[in-house]
Structure 1
C-alpha cells in the first residue's frame, strides 16, 4: 500500500511516499481503505520529532502522521464488536503512536471502537475533518462540565478546532463569545457564536467588555495562553488544547485561582458513543465539516507547507 511517513525529522520535505505491507486485522479490529486523511497540528509535532519519545522503541520507521481517516470498511475481525459491514463508508480517529501508526496510508487497522459511519451525504474529505478535532472539542467541553446558559469563550474560533467548539458549545446550550479577525467575523457568527470580539493581544479586555463578570471558562484553540486569563471569572476554568511545553505554547505564569484543564484527545480514542454523536450532529447540520483544500497524498509536503503558513480555515486533506 501507499503511505506517507518520515524516516528522519525536519521540515515538510522529510515526508516521503513509501510502499508498505497492507496491515492485517487483529482481535477486535477493523481495516479501513482510507480515501482521505486530514492534516492537523499533531502531524507537525510528529514530523518535527516532538513525539519521538512516544514512538522510539515502540514503532519502526517510517513513522506515519495522521489522526483522522475516512474511507470504506475493508475487513472486520470476527470478534469485533461493531454493527458495521464491509463496504460501509466510515470515519475513524487514529492515534499515530499506537501500533496502528497514523492515518497517512491507503489502509489502516484500528480498534472497532474508533470507527463509526461517516455522516450521510458527506464526501470522504469532509468526513476526515471531524474525528480528531470534533473529539478534542467534545473532550474540552466535557472536562469543563459547564451548565447550560454559562458563558464560555473560544479563541481561534475560525479554525477547525475552534469552530467545532463553538458549534458543540451551542448544542450543549452554552452562551458563546468568540474571537475573530475582521475577515472571519461573519464566519464565526455563522457557526453560532452569540458574541464576536476582535482577535488580538487584548482579547481578554474585549471579552470582559461583553461579560464584565468574566466568562466561566475559555477553550484556548488559538494557543493564546496567558493572554486569556483576564477573561475568566474567579474560580473559572481554562481548557488547553495543547499542553504547555509543546512547540508554539508559552508558559501561563501565575494563573491565580483559574483552574487549568489539559485536553488530551487520545483519552477519547475508544469513545465510540462520542464519535457517533458527532456524526449525528453533522447529519443534522448542527456542526459544519469544512474542507479548506485537498491534496493527493504524494503532495503531502505541499499540504504541510500551506498548513504551517497559517490562515487555513477548515482542514487541509490528503487523498489516497
Structure 2
C-alpha cells in the first residue's frame, strides 16, 4: 500500500482526504516511481476544484493531488526508452495519479534522469515551474537588452522566469506583494508592489514606452490591467489572454525541457527558491498556503521528512 493525499469529489479543501492505495502498476508508456519530493502548484487546487475538468473530469475518485515529482524508478513500462529501474528522475504524473504520494506513475516521455548533484527537492520543481519558465522565454524569443514585465513574479514560475530571463540578458521588472520584495530583488529584478495603489500607473511611470513583453502568471483582472503595457503578452494560466491580444504559453512537457532545466540548476543559473518543505502528512498545509496566494517562491513536499 502507498499513502497519498487526494480528493473524493470536486470542491474546496474540505473534499481532501489522506488514504492508502495500492501501489500502481505502470502501463506500457509509464514509469512507477518512489516519490522523494513533490512540487506544490496552483494547478493542484484548480484540478481539485473542478476548474480544469477537461483534464480530470472523466477520472474516478479519489484522485491524488500533485502533478510534478522527483524520485527513484521502481518499474518501467515496456514502451519506455532511456529509463531504467534505479534511475533518479523528475517528471510529470498522470493526471489523477498525483504526486502527493509515496509512489506514483509518471509519463515516460515526460520523465528525465537527473544529475546526482541535484537534490530531489530541487528536481521536483522542474516539471511545472522550471519548464514553464523555459517555454515562456523560448516562445517570446526576446533579444538581450529587451524589457520583460513578469506579472506575479513572486511565485514558483515567476521566480524561475526572473532568473532565466536575467541569464538571457533581459531587463526584468516584476509585480508581487510586499512580503515578496526581498525574494524578488534577490533575482536582480526591479520590484513593483501591486498592493500600493494603481500598479499600472506606477509601471507606466517607470516604463513610459511600455515593455517589450509581459509574462503573466496571475490571470484575471490583474492580467487585463497590465496587458496594455506589453508589446507582446503571454500568459501561463489564463487562456482568455487572447481577448487582450495575447497568447497562451505553448507547453512542450518533454524530456528535453526537463534536462535543460536540470542543467541550468546544476550550473547555478536557476535556484527554485524553496521557501518551505513539508512532510507528506502536512501536504494539505502546503497546498492551503499556495491556494491563499501568500506563498513565496516554491513549496515542496519532502517525503524524507
TM-score bucket of the superposed structures, by smaller chain: 0.7 to 0.9
Aligned to 2:246: 260
Aligned to 2:173: 177
Q: Is the 8 A contact 2:149 2:173 kept in 1?
A: yes
Aligned to 2:256: 273
Could you say what secondary structure the match of 1:45 adopts?
helix
Aligned to 2:229: 231
Task: Give per-residue Cα distances to partners, 1:233-274, cap 9 Å, x unaligned.
Answer: xxx2111122257xxxxx897x3xxx311125xx322x2111
Q: Is the 8 A contact 1:153 1:177 kept in 2?
A: yes
1:95 to 1:243, Cα distance in 2 relative to 1, 3 A: farther
Distance in 1 between the 2:154 and 2:55 partners?
A: 31
Could you say what secondary structure the match of 1:268 adopts?
coil
Distance in 2 between the 1:4 and 1:38 partners?
A: 13
Q: Is the 8 A contact 1:204 1:230 kept in 2?
A: no
Q: Which runs of 5+ in 1 are unaligned?
A: 246-250
Q: Which runs of 5+ in 2 are unaligned?
A: none
Instruction: Give me the TM-score of the superposition, normalised by structure 2.
Output: 0.88
Distance in 2 between the 1:8 and 1:295 partners?
A: 24
Distance in 2 between the 1:30 and 1:110 partners?
A: 5
Could you say what secondary structure the match of 2:212 adopts?
strand
Could you say what secondary structure the match of 1:282 adopts?
helix
Task: Give per-residue Cα distances to partners, 1:129-169, cap 9 Å, x unaligned.
Answer: 22211121122222223223211111221211110111111
Aligned to 1:162: 158
Distance in 2 between the 1:180 and 1:315 partners?
A: 14
Aligned to 2:64: 64
Task: Give per-residue Cα distances to partners, 1:8-38, cap 9 Å, x unaligned.
Answer: 1222232112222222223243221112212
Distance in 2 between the 1:69 and 1:316 partners?
A: 12
1:43: how far off?
0.7
Q: Runs in 1 of length 4+ with deviation above 6 angstroms?
A: none
1:298 to 1:197, Cα distance in 2 relative to 1, 3 A: closer
Task: Give per-residue Cα distances to partners, 1:37-94, cap 9 Å, x unaligned.
Answer: 122111111111213343233x221112211111112122354221x44223221122
Number of residue-to-residue matches in the alignment: 299
Distance in 2 between the 1:182 and 1:309 partners?
A: 15
Q: Is the 8 A contact 2:112 2:255 kept in 1?
A: yes
Aligned to 1:212: 208
What RMSD over aligned residues (CA atoms) do the two structures have, in Å?
2.4
Distance in 2 between the 1:94 and 1:77 partners?
A: 14
Distance in 1 between the 2:217 and 2:15 partners?
A: 27
Instruction: Give me the TM-score of the superposition, normalised by structure 1.
Output: 0.84
Distance in 2 between the 1:219 and 1:159 partners?
A: 13
Aligned to 1:81: 81
Aligned to 1:90: 89
Could you say what secondary structure the match of 1:158 adopts?
coil
- 1:1-320 equivalent positions in 2, closer than 5 A: 1-57=2-58, 59-82=59-82, 84-96=83-95, 101-193=97-189, 195-200=190-195, 202-223=198-219, 224-232=222-230, 236-244=231-239, 255=244, 259-263=245-249, 267-269=251-253, 271-320=254-303
1:287: how far off?
0.7
Distance in 2 between the 1:29 and 1:187 partners?
A: 37
Q: Is the 8 A contact 1:72 1:87 kept in 2?
A: yes
